[in-house]
Amino acid sequence: MLRKHPPISGSIPDFMHGADYNPDQWLHDPAVLEEDIRLMKLAGCNVMAVGIFAWAAMEPEEGQFEFDWLDRVLDRFAEEGLFAWLATPSGARPAWMSERYPEVLRIGANRVRNLHGHRHNHCYTSPVYREKTAILNAKLASRYARHPAVVGWHISNEYGGDCHCELCQEAFREWLQARYGTLDALNAAWWTSFWAHTYTSWSQIESPTPHGETMVHAHNLDWRRFVTDRTVDFCAHEIAVVRPFNPDLPVTTNMMDWYEGLDYRRFAGLLDVIAWDAYPTWHDAADDSRTAAWFAFNHDLFRSLKDKPFMLMESTPSLTNWQPVSKLKRPGMHRLSSLQAVAHGADTVQYFQWRKSRGSSEKLHGAVVDHVGHEHTRVFRDVAELGGALAALRDVVGTSTPARAAILTDWDNRWAVCDAQGPRNCGVHYEDAVLDHYRALWALGVPIDVIGSEEERDLGRYDLIVAPMLYLCRSETGARLERYVEAGGVLVSTYWSGIVDERDLCHLGGFPGPLRRTLGIWAEEMDALYDGETNSLVPLDGPNGAAEERKEPEGGRILLGRAYVSSELCELVHLEGAEALAAYGSDFYAGRPALTVNRLGAGKAYYLATRAEPAFYADFYGWLASALRLPRALDTALPDGVTAQVRTDGETDFVFVLNFSGRERIVPLDGRVYIDAETGEPLSGPALTLSANGSRVLRRASANG
C-alpha cells in the first residue's frame, strides 16, 4: 500500500547534504570558492543554498544587476557535480531601497517605523517591495531556472513578524470585509457590544496594539489570521514570478520550530516540499530526551504538513551563537541529531552555515568550515562522516512514516488558548501540555502524525487521535471527531476543550461544546491551581466497569498503576454516559471524575480533566498503545531516553534507534531479523548497545511487505 515518494529533485536521487553558502561575502577573494568546492566534496556534500541574503550583491544599485559572480558559482558547481537551492534574496534588502522607498520599512505595533537594518523586517503589503522583489526574482529565474546546478527555489528566508503600517491597516480592513461582509456581522462575531467597542465604520478598525486595542480576543485572532494570509500572499507573489520559467523546479521556504506567528498549514498548498530550520539546545539537561521529543514533534509536524518527506534546511554543524548558552555537540550528537530528522522523514540534512563569516553578528556561529580554513577539525570530520552515512542510507530516501496515531493541534487554537484571560493567566502551558502527550508516544516508538482540524485528511487512517486542550473547537471539528469515534476511532481529549468557536465566542449550552456527546460528559466548572499546588488522579476500581477497562483483554497491563500528581487546571465534570476511570484525590471535588471514557458507536473517547505528571502519560499511553495494538518501530521495552522511529516503503522498514539518554544503553530487540542498514552486516544477539548519543539504523523486511 505504501509507496516511495520521488526524490525532491530528479537531479539528486540521494539524500541532499549541504549548507547555506554565502560566496557573496567572499567576492574579494576568488580562491575561497575553489577551496570551498574542494572542501564540499571532501565533506560528502552535494547541495548548497545560495543567494539567501545576496540582494546587495545582485542589485548593488537600483536597476543595476550583477550576476557574474553567481554565474561563476553555479557554473563551477555544475562542473563539479554540486547542486544549489537558489534563494530569492527577499529576506534582507539593500540600503538604497530603504533610503529611496521608506514604505518598505516595517512599522511596529507601537506605530513607529523601523530604520534600515537587520533583516526579515519588510512590509509584505508595500507595492514597492513587491515590485522590487518581482523584478529581481524574474531576473534570477530567467537566468538560472534551467541552470544544470539549480535543483529548486529557496523562497526568501524564515518569513515572520507583522507590519502595522497604513497599507497593512487598509489591507486588514479589506480582509475583514471579505470575511464578514458587513460591520454588523463583524460586531456580532467580535462581541463588540462589550465595553462599548462597537464599530460604526470600517476605518475605525486598527490592528491590535498594547497602547490601543487588545481586549477583543476575536480581533486578536483575526489579526493573526490576516498576518498569515498576508505572508502567504507575499510568498505566493514570489513564487508566481519564478515558477513559469521552469515549472519542474520544486519550490520551498524555510520554516521555524512550531513558530507561533504563522499558521504554516496555510503555506503547505503553495510549496512543493516543506523545509524547516532546527536548532535544538542539546545538553541543556543531563538527559536530552525532552529536547529530543520537542524536536521529534516538530519533525512530525513538518512532515505532516504535506504528508511526505521534508527538508531539514538548516541545523548547526556545531553550535549556534544566539541561544542563551550555545554548547558544543558532544561526540555522537551531530550524527544523532541529523539522523533524528531523517528518522522522522527528512530527505535532506543541511546546515547553517557552510563557512563562518569573518565579521558581523554571525561570525561566531558554527559552520562546516571554521576560521582556521581547513578540514582538520572535529566539526568537519563529523560532517564528513555523516555524509558517508547518508550515502550508505540512500535507500531511505522517499520512504514514508506509517503513522496510525495523530496529535491534533491548530494554530488558531493555540493563539486563542494562550490569549484567553481565564483561570490561569500565569500560564496554561498549551505547548508543554501537547508535548506531554506526544513525548509518551515518542518514548514508546509509536509513529505519530501532527494534524490540523481543518485539513482534508481521512481521519479513519488513525487508530488514535489525541487532541490536547482543544479550547477553540469549531462545530464542524466536533462533528468530525464524533464521526471518527462512531466509526471505531479512539480519541483522547483533555481539560479546557470545546470552550470557544472560531470567532472566539463561547459555546453555549454546556462545555465541552461540540465534543460533549462524543465525550459523554458535561464540564461544569474549572478550578485553577497556584504554581506548586497539586491535586491527584486516583485510579478507580470496581463499579461501573472501570476495573475491566483497566486491564487489557489478554490479562496484560493495568491502565493506571498508582495515583498521579496533577496540577494547573482541574475541570469538574459530570458523567453523561461516560465512565470514570480515575477520580480527584483531594479538595472539595475529591472523588469527582478526573479521567473518563465514553463508548460511542464502535469507538471510544477518553477525557483527561486535569494536567497530570509525566508518569501518568507514560502509563496511560503504554496501556493504550498495547490495548490498541498501535504499531511501534521496535516491539520491545525501550530504555529511558531511547526511542525508535521507522520509515518504510512497504517492503523494507528502516528502524532508527536513537539514544538521547546521555549515557550508554542496552536496547533489547524484538526477535525479528535485522541487518545494519549502513554496513549490511546482520545483527547478532538479542540486544544492541548504544553509546551515549549513539544511533543505529537497522533494516528489516516489513511485516506486510
Where does this chain bind ligand GLA (CB under 6 A)?
Answer: 157-158, 277, 279, 314, 320, 352, 362, 365
Contact partner, 320, from ligand GLA, Zn ion, none, Cβ < 5-8 Å per class: ligand GLA
Contact 670, 680 (CB under 8 A): no
Chain residue whose CB lies nearest ligand GLA = 277
Contact partner, 443, from ligand GLA, Zn ion, none, Cβ < 5-8 Å per class: none
Is position 314 annotated as part of the catalytic site? yes
Nearest to 589 by CA among 530, 671, 529, 527: 527
Our CB check for ligand GLA shows the closer of 319 and 464 to be: 319
Using CA atoms, how far apart are residues 486 and 480, in angstroms rounded to an integer? 10
Q: Give min distance, CB of 101 to Zn ion, in A.
A: 12
Contact partner, 175, from Zn ion, ligand GLA, none, Cβ < 5-8 Å per class: none
Q: Give min distance, CB of 109 to Zn ion, in A.
A: 12
Q: Give min distance, CB of 349 to ligand GLA, in A.
A: 15
Q: Give min distance, CB of 575 to ligand GLA, in A.
A: 49
40 sits near Zn ion (criterion: CB under 5 A): no
Using CA atoms, how far apart are residues 421 and 348, in angstroms rounded to an integer? 42
123 sits near Zn ion (criterion: CB under 5 A): yes
Contact partner, 171, from ligand GLA, Zn ion, none, Cβ < 5-8 Å per class: none
DSSP 316-349: -SS--SSSSS-PPPPTTHHHHHHHHHHHTTEEEE
Is position 482 annotated as part of the catalytic site? no
The backbone torsions φ and ψ at residue 89, rounded to the nearest 5 degrees and listed phi first, read -90, 20
Contact 328, 319 (CB under 8 A): yes
Question: Hey, what long-range contacts does 95-103 have (CB within 8 A, 24 or more apart)?
Answer: 95/56, 96/61, 96/62, 97/62, 97/128, 97/129, 97/132, 100/62, 101/126, 101/128, 101/129, 101/132, 103/127, 103/128, 103/129, 103/165, 103/167
DSSP 527-563: EE--TT--EEEEE--SGGGHHHHHB-TTS--BS--S-
Contact partner, 432, from Zn ion, ligand GLA, none, Cβ < 5-8 Å per class: none
The backbone torsions φ and ψ at residue 31, rounded to the nearest 5 degrees and listed phi first, read -65, -25
Contact 312, 256 (CB under 8 A): no
Contact partner, 279, from ligand GLA, Zn ion, none, Cβ < 5-8 Å per class: ligand GLA
Our CB check for ligand GLA shows the closer of 133 and 157 to be: 157
Q: Give min distance, CB of 434 to ligand GLA, in A.
A: 23
Contact 482, 518 (CB under 8 A): yes
Our CB check for Zn ion shows the closer of 134 and 328 to be: 134
The one-letter amino acid at 207? S
125 sits near Zn ion (criterion: CB under 5 A): yes
Contacting residue, 58, 73, 163, 441, with Zn ion by CB under 5 A: 163
Nearest to 658 by CA among 696, 685, 627, 688: 696
Q: Give min distance, CB of 125 to ligand GLA, in A.
A: 23
Segment near Zn ion (CB under 5 A); pick from 166-174, 218-226, 447-455, 584-592:
166-174
Non-local CB neighbours of 309 within 8 Å, separated by 6+ positions? 5, 8, 273, 303, 345, 346, 347, 397, 398, 399, 400
Our CB check for ligand GLA shows the closer of 223 and 302 to be: 302
Residue of 34, 66, 131, 158 marked catalytic = 158
| Strand ranges in 287-435 using DSSP code E only, listed in sequence order | 310-314, 346-351, 405-408
Contact 540, 582 (CB under 8 A): yes
Our CB check for ligand GLA shows the closer of 323 and 689 to be: 323
Using CA atoms, how far apart are residues 491 and 488, in angstroms rounded to an integer? 10
104 sits near Zn ion (criterion: CB under 5 A): no
Contact partner, 8, from ligand GLA, Zn ion, none, Cβ < 5-8 Å per class: none
168 sits near Zn ion (criterion: CB under 5 A): yes
Our CB check for ligand GLA shows the closer of 365 and 700 to be: 365
Q: Give min distance, CB of 181 to Zn ion, in A.
A: 25
Q: Give min distance, CB of 270 to ligand GLA, in A.
A: 19
165 sits near Zn ion (criterion: CB under 5 A): yes
Residue of 238, 314, 502, 568 marked catalytic = 314
Active site residues: 158, 314
> Which parts of this chain interact with Zn ion (CB under 5 A)?
123, 125, 163, 165, 167-168
